[in-house]
Amino acid sequence: HAGTALKDGKVVTNGGRVLTVTAIKEDLMTALQEANKGVAAINFKGSIYRKDIGYRAIAFLSQSRGLTYKNSGVDIAAGNILVQKIKPLAAATSRSGCNAELGGFAGLFDLKAAGYKDPILVSGTDGVGTKLKIAQVCKKHDTIGQDLVAMCVNDILAQGAEPLFFLDYFACGKLDVEVAQGVIAGIAEACQKAGCALLGGETAEMPGMYPPGEYDLAGFAVGAVERGQMLPQLERIADGDVVIGVASSGVHSNGYSLVRRIVEKSSLDFSSQVGVSGDQTLGDLLLTPTKIYSKTLLPVLRSGHVKAYAHITGGGLLENIPRVLPDSFGVVLDALSWKIPEIFCWLHKEGNLSEEEMARTFNCGIGAV
């Protein structure tokens, strides 16, 4: 009640409204209609009630008060929450030359502090392709970040470069902080594996550009190599040189448009149990993260014994090895000299692919040469 007073132990009217009826519904108009039904049920001598106040409130709230960025679909507050969550992840990647603290307009790196005397900077950028679609369908976002880092740092390794720092670009239609945090946590963990700092990045929320639940990624790696240690050393390559293949962890991050088409035509889906013991889904198998070669191979590449390094990425074995050879040279590969992982055998059989198509699309178990 309202508009009342307590006199001689009794609640009496002060001359104004004495009862308020409240209703709670899914929207304001329905709640108002329910409240009016309640008021109409109250009947005593001299009673009177108003119904216009609620409608005046609805009319007031319906007036345009101007658009906001959030009304347009961009939630700056959510973006700020994400930044606070990923700051410690980036800080954990600090290395000599930078402290990897997010928040500034740009990131800084000190080559002298990193121990370089006459360095050449080497840069690379890449994405993950439609492997992202499988991650999104399977709702598994914690490993795709390693794919992104690996695709970039494995490329600059072809020049003999040590990866120094990495920047990421995460684009979506509607920011899901938990999903974005999972992706960037994977990126930060991969940066530690590669020995580079996560120096910065961009999270772009763009309503209308991407369907709900979808996002895209791009990565940028910058490394350095001393001027005298650059690869490939084409003038040293000679007849009879030994070609060494370094194992991949699986399909890595190339050929997934073909992979997805093969899965669509097969009797399986990404949730199907596969493997000898059936303890892994096809989705998990295809989402095996790309191997990062930096820490393992960099000492070998800088030993003086290696003349060239090829990252087996888009174009498979057939198109990537020639990229590091003189025009008059080729290599002889014996596919019987290594065990081709079962996933490639399945893709070959299920997709009815030729051997040439396999070697031109996939790494076939060899991630670097």
Helices (H), 16-143: 28-40, 52-62, 76-91, 131-138
Segments forming the whole domain that contains residue 53? 4-62
**Within this chain, do residues 88 and 37 fall inside the same structural domain, yes or no?**
no
Domain end: 62, 90, 112, which one?
62
Q: What is the pLDDT of residues 327-359, one digit of tens each?
A: 999 999 999 999 999 999 999 999 999 999 999
**Within this chain, do residues 218 and 242 fall inside the same structural domain, yes or no?**
no
Which residue did the predictor score with more confidence, 367 or 273? 367
Domain count for the chain, please give it.
Answer: 3
Q: What is the pLDDT of residues 149-191, one digit of tens each?
A: 999 999 999 999 999 999 999 999 999 999 999 999 999 999 9
Give residue 276's pLDDT band: very low, low, confident or very high (50, 70, 90): low
Which residue did the predictor score with more confidence, 47 or 273? 273
* Pairing assessment for the beta strands 197-205 and 162-172 based on DSSP bridges: parallel
**Within this chain, do residues 241 and 278 fall inside the same structural domain, yes or no?**
yes
Predicted local confidence at residue 87, as pLDDT: 94
**Residue 69 domain-assigned (yes or no):** no
Measured CA to CA, the distance from residue 10 to residue 4 in angstroms comes to 10
Predicted local confidence at residue 277, as pLDDT: 54
**Within this chain, do residues 80 and 225 fall inside the same structural domain, yes or no?**
yes
Comparing C-alpha atoms, which of 197, 156, 145, 181 is closest to residue 293? 156
Q: What is the pLDDT of residues 310-319, one digit of tens each?
A: 999 999 999 9
The CATH number assigned to the domain holding 112 equals 3.30.1330.10
Determine contact, residues 217/167, Cβ cutoff 8 Å: no
**Within this chain, do residues 286 and 348 fall inside the same structural domain, yes or no?**
yes
Q: What is the pLDDT of residues 78-127, one digit of tens each?
A: 999 999 999 999 999 999 999 777 778 899 999 999 999 999 999 999 99
Measured CA to CA, the distance from residue 211 to residue 217 in angstroms comes to 15
Model confidence at 196: pLDDT above 90? yes
For the chain, the 3-state helix, strand and coil shares in percent, each to the nearest 5, are: 40, 15, 45
Q: Report the range out of 5-14, 31-40, 60-69, 239-248 with the highest average pLDDT.
A: 239-248
